[in-house]
Amino acid sequence: MCGIVGYVGHRPVQEILLAGLEKVEYRGYDSAGVSVLSDGAIASVRAVGELSHLRRAVRDLDTIADVAGQAVAVAVAERPPTAGIGHTRWATHGRVTESNAHPHFDTSDRVHVVVNGIVENHAILKRRLVDMGATFTSETDAEVIAHLVSHHMARGSLIEAVRAAYGELHGQFAFAVMSADEPDTVVGVRLGCPLVIGRGQGEQFVGSDVACFLEHTRDVQYVYDGELVVLRPESAEFLSADGTPIERAITHVDWDAETAEKGGYETFMLKEIHDQADAVAETIRPRTLGTTGVDLADPDFDEALLDGVDRVLILAAGTSFHAGLIARYAIEEWARVPVEMDIASEWIYRNPIVSERELVIGITQSGETADTLTAMRLARERGAKVIACTNVRGSSVTRECDGVLYTRAGMEVSVAATKTFVCQVATMYLLALRLAELRGAMAPPRIAELLAEIKRLPHQITELVAGLNGRLQATAERHAPSTFFLYLGRHVGRAVALEGALKLKEISYIATDAYAGGEMKHGPIALLDEKTPVVCVATDMPILDKMIGNIEEVRARGAHVIAIATEGDGRLAPVAEEVIYVPRTDWMLQALLAVIPLQLFAYHIARKRGLNVDKPRNLAKTVTVE
Ligand code: AGP
């Protein structure tokens, strides 16, 4: 996920852009940049690392310019620039370098663009543009937009050029573009990634979300897919791709700054639950551009790491451990490679045995969990190939491994992991599928089928969250007074049950236990009485009849069954007091969807109890102490 901001108006733009970027830094933060337009030229500053590095780079340029007396800096043009665009990047195509940071520009340096998302046909377009004389300066897919718009400007205005370029671009993206030849104009385009306009008096804003301009205006217009918007100081003109003008109502948002950062949700956790579709889409998209296979190769991950693997070991903690459990089932089922897994803090004290044919996967959203870090270091010392699955670029684990599979969930503020979990699971599905492909463990049509299902997940998540939030609020209300919840599941459903139970205890401080359905009769069944809510993960899977048998055992003790089932499956309604349905997909993938009602359930119970879900007691987002 990347963050976009843009401004045209009457005020100096530099600070407006930098402050706006700070608000969307959560969307991506490996590098950043701004371009400003003044006196028929565009000045640009980019920097690798956090936004503070960009601020420093802008400041340094100001100082140099002051000394040299030249107009090299953003802030020293004769009239301070009043139009510009900015970007925070989370790398997808190309390494984290200054030249890969946005804004990108055309060969004549007269068209600058900031992009969020992916241009799928960038390679073909790039070849054509290079043949026509364009010089590319980055490894990104995004740069192609600057060259393409510039190419079309030879025959028309910026707006016509953007429309022509848009017609040639495939993918999911949003971008903002400006040209030195058309002062005081910024054009925004949306296709599959968020973009919103802020309306001011004699000034207009564009951004990835409302937070980046909320301190200046609360009058907002949403851009929909397939639309262009032309911003000038006095106007925001919406157009369809064929140039037809569109009327768009202004929405007045009365959020305070904190609510805006939460995207209008009451907490970060709820926002992050709603962000899950986008996060999964961002995570899988660059790796699933083909129609048949998965491509995990990128500057951080060499697929040669997957050669000659005859055993996989997964090490993690907490929620990441539960993602690892799902990975275990998927890798064994699809790639037919044996997988062992352990809690990182336990494994390191086993005097563990590993070999160089073993692939060790450390899963950690923060990339800083000391237990996981120590385990990965130890595995590497003992000769294993070690890869990390993390959400944080440049985090400690990325220096302790041979390759990194990044999840692209954007910054997760709430201590309770939600969107990072589903992204870990999605990444592990892709890894399992790629291993299956490389080892010839699965027929290509079956791989293509699963891939198509994986690509549908973001859409299914959107529907699920939208459809369930209200319903689960009511369910949670009924169960909030309970003092104990049991969670049951089998196979991948057990991993989901463990995660649901952890989420509830973590944010609501209610005692929970989670068990494999078949284990319940060996002890936990003693806990059951008619007051006990038992959450049963019973989505479609080959052993669902066994799980239904376990549910019958629960019912025989009079306990109250809340079942998570697959849409269209009529077997649960007769045996459960409440059934919550999730969309149908392949049974292995069902685990990713099944966790979402459990996140919402935990969330609403904790809120009903008046708790601060974003910062639960005794817990920190990053656990760095062994
Ligand atoms: C999950 O909601 C928790 N915050 C916690 O279990 C977390 O998953 C665990 O501490 C591991 O963190 P990591 O993924 O950053 O390594």
The mean per-residue pLDDT over the stretch 453-469 comes to 95
Nearest residue (by CA) to ligand 1, atom 7, is: 318
Instruction: Tell me the average pLDDT across 143-147.
Output: 97
What is the spatial distance between Cα 42 and Cα 47, in angstroms, rounded to a whole number? 17
Burial degree of 572 (CB within 10 A; 0-12, 13-18, 19+): buried
**Alpha carbons 275 and 583: distance in angstroms, whole number:** 18
301-to-298, 402, 404 alpha-carbon distances in Å:
5, 8, 5
pLDDT tens, residue by residue, 110-133: 999 999 988 989 999 999 999 999
Task: Please say whether the beta carbons of 503 and 340 come within 8 A.
Answer: no
Q: Which pLDDT score is estimated for 3?
A: 87
Report strand pairing: 578-582 vs 560-566: parallel
Distance 33 CA to ligand 1 centre (A): 31
Ligand 1 pocket, 372 CB below 6 A?
yes
pLDDT digits (tens, 9 = 90+) for 278-305: 999 999 998 998 767 899 999 899 999 9
Name residue, tokens 């936990």: 524
**Which residues are bridge partners to 581 per DSSP?**
565
**Alpha-carbon torsion 592, 596, 602, 606, what sign?**
positive
Residue 269: name the closest of 393, 420, 395 by CA.
420
Phi and psi, residue 104, nearest 5°: -100, 160
For ligand 1, atom 13, the nearest C-alpha belongs to: 364
In contact, 607 and 613? CB cutoff 8 Å: yes
Q: Does the Cβ of 416 fall within 6 Å of ligand 1?
A: yes
Instruction: Please state, in angstroms and rounded to a whole number, the distance separating the CA atoms of residues 102 and 125.
Output: 19
Task: Say if CB 144 and CB 121 are below 8 A apart.
Answer: no
Expressed in angstroms and rounded, the spacing between residue 420 Cα and the centre of ligand 1 is 10
pLDDT at 589: 98
Element (H, E) at 487: strand 484-489
Top-confidence residue, 400 or 519: 519
CA 461/CA 589 separation, integer angstroms: 12
Q: Are strands 171-179 and 484-489 parallel, antiparallel or unpaired?
A: unpaired
pLDDT of residue 142 exceeding 60, the answer is: yes
Rg of the chain over Cα atoms, rounded to whole angstroms, equals 26
| Structure confidence at residue 106 (pLDDT) | 97
Smallest CA-to-CA distance from 422 within 393, 467, 391 is with 391
pLDDT of residue 65: 43
Give the residue among 1, 23, 3, 411 at the shortest CA–CA distance from 216: 23
- Classified as helix, coil or strand, 362 is strand
pLDDT at residue 64, rounded to an integer = 44
For ligand 1, whether the C-beta of 415 sits within 6 Å is: yes
Amino acid 388: pLDDT: 98
- pLDDT, tens digit, for every residue of 514-538? 999 999 999 999 999 988 999 999 9
Stretch 372-387: mean pLDDT: 95
* pLDDT value at 314 more than 60: yes
The larger pLDDT score, comparing residue 465 to residue 615, is at 465
| CA 320 / ligand 1 centre spacing (Å) | 6
Reported as a pLDDT band with limits 50, 70 and 90, residue 625 is low
Residue 158 · residue 185 · CB < 8 Å = yes
Task: For residue 181, give the 3-state DSSP assignment.
Answer: coil
Tell me the pLDDT tens digit for each residue of 162-179: 999 999 999 889 999 999
CA dist 40 and 110 (Å) reads: 9
Where in the sequence numbering do the catalytic residues fall? 2, 621
pLDDT above 60 for 372: yes
Q: Would you state the structure tokens that stand for residue 147, as one six-digit string?
A: 């060259």
Average pLDDT over the chain reads: 91
Give the separation between CA 246 and CA 223, rounded to whole angstroms: 10
392 lines ligand 1 (CB under 6 A): no
| Nearest protein Cα to ligand 1, atom 4 | 416
C-alpha–C-alpha distance, residues 469 and 459, integer Å: 16
CA neighbor of 599 nearest in space, from 420, 331, 387, 346: 420
User: Could you tell me if 95 and 12 are in contact, meaning their C-beta atoms sit under 8 angstroms apart?
Assistant: no
CB 320 less than 6 A from any atom of ligand 1: yes
DSSP 206-237: EESSGGGTTTT--EEEEPPTTEEEEEETTEEE
Better pLDDT: 510 or 94? 510
The alpha carbon torsion through 8, 9, 12, 17 (nearest 10 deg) reads -40
What gap in Å lies between CA 359 and CA 340, rounded to an integer? 10
CA pair distance 286, 284, nearest whole angstrom: 6
For residue 417, the ligand 1 atom closest to its alpha carbon is 2
Confidence at 396, pLDDT banded by 50, 70, 90: confident
Segment 439-463 shows an average pLDDT of 95
pLDDT of 62 reads 63
Which residues, in sequence order, are bridge partners of residue 357?
Answer: none
Q: Is the Cβ atom of 318 under 6 angstroms away from ligand 1?
A: yes
Q: What is the DSSP-derived secondary structure letter of residue 313?
A: E
Confidence of residue 489 (pLDDT cuts 50, 70, 90): very high
504 in helix, strand or coil? helix
According to the 3-state scheme, what is the secondary structure of 77-93?
CCCCCCEEEEEEECCCC
Inter-residue contact 121 to 96 (CB < 8 Å):
no
For residue 284, report the distance from its CA to the centre of ligand 1, in Å. Answer: 21
| Mean pLDDT for the stretch of residues 404-416 | 91
Checking DSSP bridges between strand 484-489 and strand 403-406, what pairing results, if any? unpaired
> For 563-579, what is the mean pLDDT?
97
Q: Please check whether residue 383 is in contact with residue 356, taking contact to mean a CB–CB distance below 8 angstroms.
A: yes
Rounded CA gap, 312 and 305, in Å? 12
What pLDDT does residue 431 have? 98
Sequence-ordered list of residues with C-beta below 8 angstroms from that of 68, at least 6 positions apart, any chain: none
Residue 556 neighbours by CB under 8 Å, 6+ apart: none
SS3 332: helix
Strand order in the sheet with 403-406: 339-343, 311-316, 358-363, 385-390, 403-406
What pLDDT was estimated at residue 340? 97
pLDDT band at 66 (very low <50, low <70, confident <90, very high): very low
Can you tell me whether residue 420 is helix, strand or coil? helix
Q: What is the pLDDT of residue 428?
A: 98
Which segment of 55-69, 472-486, 526-540, 554-568 scores lowest on mean pLDDT? 55-69
At residue 61 the predicted structure's pLDDT band, cuts being 50, 70 and 90, is low
Separation of CA 474 and ligand 1 centre (Å): 28
* Token pair of 5 as six digits: 């901001």
Q: Is 586 helix (H, G, I), strand (E, B) or coil?
A: coil
Least confident of 70-74, 137-141, 298-302, 466-470: 70-74
Tell me what the mean pLDDT of segment 499-503 comes to.
98
246 has which bridge partners? 238
- Point out the ligand 1 atom lying closest to the alpha carbon of residue 420: 14
**Poorest-confidence range of 2-6, 52-56, 74-78, 363-367?**
74-78
Q: How much is the pLDDT for 624?
A: 63
Decide if 539 contacts 493 (C-beta within 8 A).
yes
Mean pLDDT, range 9-32, rounded to an integer: 86
Mean pLDDT over 11-16 rounds to 94
